[in-house]
Structure 1
Amino acid sequence: MTAVPPTELTTEQDDLASEFDLSDPKFITDPKAGERWLGGPQPVCRGKFADGSDIWVVTGYHDVKTVLGEPTLRSSPPGDSHRESMLSRGIPEDIVDMFDATLLTMDGEDHMRVRRLVTRALSARRMLALTPAVERVAAHLLDGLADRAEPDLIADYAHPLAIIVICELLGVDEEYREQWREWSETLAQALRPNPEQFAPAVRGMARVTRQLIAARRAEPRDDLISELVQIHEEDSDRLTDDELTALAMVLVQAGHETVRNLVALGAFTLLQHPDQLELLRKDSSLGSRAAAELVRRTAPVKHTFRRFVTEPLEIGGVQVQPGEAIQVVLAAANRDPEVFEEPERLDITREQNAHLGFGRGAHYCLGASLALIEGEVALTALFHRFPDLALAVDPQEIEPRFLLPMQCLPVRLFPESEMR
């Protein structure tokens, strides 16, 4: 890579450091924070990570695409700063060691080895074969909603659908699913974890996962854990037990959280765009385009994990030096007006939609196809079953915060006249 002279930061770029401060609780809870991430005046700005360390925040589509595809970037920081960052936030050392064995923190040959084995198990055939299971789960949950006048679409639909489907894929027994759901909610706060809750959740999930692996080794079934165990036993590049445990935990967490957010944000957004919702109601064949457009517009995954520079790299006219960290904002990239026509407009018929909602390159989301299937099925079935569904509260009361998942989504299933 050709080095370029360092670019002097403008005063505006320096001032923006406080605008992108993940270590400031006010930034996490500020309802206007997302607007600054999505519409910052510079495609590359200074910022702060959750531990207070410096990061470069990248928001422009082409710059984000460059970062995601840059082979010299690493998920693990130089030295022990990754461990130090987690330990400084009160995460016990044994928990840090577990996270060091995941695809999210692996690089180079180890990452490619594990990813190749997982990709083999997460085949397109397996994902497509799950469609009837997703339809069955959605129908069952919708049957349960019909008995309630004003259910919470997150607690009663998006959340259980996401955890049930990912648990069915992996082969998590039904008796553990409610516990997995609670653990997943805790792990979703990884950016600002509460150590007293976070550590027991990780240890509990790891313990049950190891029990599950042992059970499937003794008695295989038609599930993903069994297939990964078989690969573990037969492949010369086999997964270690720690890698297999960490992998299962990451798949549950990522698969659950992304789908939960997509269904919740998708339903809320469609209710705010009745013209687009009417299109979907009239033509269910638009479901796949609608799911892709909702990924672009609502960003169930807002940003990636940090990546660390190993060689001098120019991004957006800024020279980033080895050892410095970069964080890309997928949500901002997907609203770049240079790439998307009328990016703020929700258009479920949009044909040109090369969104980056699931990342790109070596760390592209392995479960992207399943997430889209779940989003399409869940939302199409919801609005087909309840054509008069509407918000039960003023939208401003539950307006999503950019960096926090929606907490509740109360709705009315039937017209108010029928509820009296």
Structure 2
Amino acid sequence: MSTNETSKPEFFTREFTQNPYPVYEKLRQNDPIHRVLFPHGDFGWIITQYEDAVEVLKDNRFSKDVIKRYGPDQDNIFVHNMLFSDPPDHRRLRGLVQKAFTPRLIEGMRSHIQDIADDLLDNLKSQDKMNLIDEFAFPLPIIVISEILGVPLEDQDKFRLWSNSIIDATSEENSEVFEKHAKEFIDYLNAWFAKVREQPGDDLISQLVVAEESGEQLTEKELLGVVALLIIAGHETTVNLIGNGVLALLEHPEQRELLIKQPELIHKAVEEMLRYNGPVEFSTSRWASEDIEFHGHHIAEGELVIVALDSANRDEAKFKDADVFDITREKSAHLAFGKGIHLCLGAPLARLEGEIAINTLIRRFPDMQLQADVNELEWRPGMIVRGVKEIPVQLK
């Protein structure tokens, strides 16, 4: 398959968003390092095979620094965090928040997260139906991250609006509202930081504000950027892990029955959900910091490179029967949370929330059924997350 042929708009269409996996399979076989015109008008590369993906994710020649690539014109708060920085800034920024997300501290939250899941489902006892995303998959992680950060839970709907707008900004139809919602988000955070400075607590934002005021570890822009990232990433991944995971169980009733009978399989089940239809479809952007010869392709300095994580996780060269959803699969080295120094900081929390949410849901509502044609569900636009906007289910 030639570059000209594969540059046709197979990507970024409604059909692709609904089910990208046939396109990925074709590219892995014929054009795994694929040059494409992105929606914003730049040519770049999409990496679709597993081994190539790991190599890119770990290669420090591919820079994450947006300002270094595009200059001060791209200087907005959403790039002043560890996700869009290179060492040594990356190490400094990640180190400030890492202590709040250690596996030991996250495991210590298990009983509290279980209580949150139970409370949410208790509120549904009198209902026959629900929208899984709005009534369960979204509230659970936003409650948890709000408590960790110390922001008011009553503002969760604002966080969702702002987060969706920012995440979906890669979709042309949503770009117009980005600036409005970004300004609202920034104004909110600045007002909240002012309150915290007056009366700091034990929460993570208070710790970061203190670090910022020390003048050595965080700038004002970095404080905004890190907290914005934590609010957005702190719930987006888990919302889509729960949504995509439950959807896979609904589409594979034999796997759901197995999990109901053997709830101890939940650890393997969540890993398989992350691999099979992961919540983050593409890695965030990287740019070649120099001219790079990469497996027969010349990637010019400054060119955009993105890893198709969900494609890599269906690579038959790495995963046997890769298109099969199997919750008994031995733990796999999937790339749902990335690889290398930018491995998702919140992965232990997302895994724990997913395990508790999904096991509790199917235990409480074992006969739950999807109330829609799976092919007509609307998937979110954009080039980062992979998730369904709504999943209507019959509970009883």
Same fold, TM-score > 0.5, yes or no:
yes
The CA RMSD over aligned residues, in Å, is 2.3
Match of 1:214 in 2: 194
Structure 1 residues 401, 254: CA separation in 2 closer, same or farther (over 3 Å shift)? closer
| DSSP-derived class of the 1:302 partner | coil
Gap runs ≥5 in structure 2: none
Structure 1 residues 16 and 27: alpha-carbon distance in aligned structure 2, compared to 1, 3 A threshold: farther
Corresponding residue for residue 119 of structure 2: 140
User: Contact 2:78/2:229 (CA < 8 Å) preserved in 1?
Assistant: no
Mapped to 2, the partners of 1:80 and 1:339 lie a distance apart of 33
Q: Which residue of 2 aligns with 1:59?
A: 48
Residue 12 in 1 paired to residue 5 in 2? no
Instruction: Indicate which of 171, 182, 185 corresponds to 1:202.
Output: 182
**Aligned AA (2:24):** W
**Aligned equivalents of 1:183, 1:400: Cα separation in 2:** 18
Q: 1:31 aligns with which of 8, 11, 18?
A: 18
Tell me by how many angstroms 1:210 deviates: 2.3
Structure 1: give runs of 5+ residues left out of the alignment.
1-10, 87-95, 415-420
Partner of 1:5: none
1:91 aligned residue: none
Whether 1:261 aligns to 2:250 is no
How far apart are residue 34 of structure 1 and its match? 4.3
Letter paired with 2:278: A
Determine which of 372, 375, 380 is the counterpart of 1:393.
372
Q: Distance in 1 between matches of 2:280 and 2:365?
A: 27
Q: Choose from 223, 241, 256 the match for 2:203.
A: 223
Shift in CA distance, 279/377, structure 1 to aligned 2, threshold 3 Å: same
Is the CA contact 1:63–1:315 (under 8 Å) kept in the aligned structure 2?
no
CA distance 1:345–1:39, change in 2 (3 Å): same
Q: Residue 18 of structure 1 aligns to a residue in which SS?
A: coil
Distance 1:20 1:55, change over 3 A: farther
- CA separation in 2, counterparts of 1:350 and 1:305? 28
Q: How does 1:161-240 map to 2 (within 5 A)?
A: 161-192=140-171, 194-233=174-213, 237-240=216-219
| Partner residue, 1:50 | 39
Change in CA separation of 1:357 and 1:123 when aligned onto 2, cut-off 3 Å: same
Over residues 393-418 of structure 1, what are the superposed CA-to-partner deviations in whole Å (9 max), with x where a residue is unaligned? 2323327578663111111111xxxx
Q: What letter matches 1:162 in structure 2?
A: P
- Letter of the structure 2 residue corresponding to residue 413 of structure 1: L
The residue identity in structure 2 corresponding to 1:226 is S
- Partners of 1:358 and 1:38 in 2: CA distance: 21
Aligned residue for 1:357, secondary structure, equals coil
Q: Distance in 2 between matches of 1:408 and 1:33?
A: 19
Aligned to 2:391: 409
CA distance in 2, matches of 1:386, 1:32: 28
Structure-2 residue corresponding to 1:321? 300
Identity of matched residues, %: 34
Question: Are the counterparts in 1 of residues 270 and 351 from structure 2 also a CA contact under 8 Å?
Answer: yes
Deviates more, 1:219-228 or 1:376-385: 219-228
Whether contact under 8 Å (2:101, 2:349) holds in the other structure is no
For 2:331 and 2:71, locate their aligned partners in 1 and report how far apart those are by CA, in whole Å. Answer: 38
C-alpha distance after superposition, 1:284-309 (max 9, x if no partner): 22112111110111110001122111
Of 268, 271, 280, the residue aligned with 1:292 is 271
Q: Secondary structure at the match of 1:326?
A: strand
Cα distance, 1:292–1:195 mapped onto 2, change above 3 Å: same
> Which letter does structure 2 place at the counterpart of 1:190?
A
Amino acid aligned to 2:123: G
Aligned pair count reads 390
- 1:354 Cα deviation from its structure 2 partner: 0.4
Give the deviation of 1:144 after TM superposition.
1.6
How far residue 146 of structure 1 moved from its aligned partner, in angstroms, is 1.8
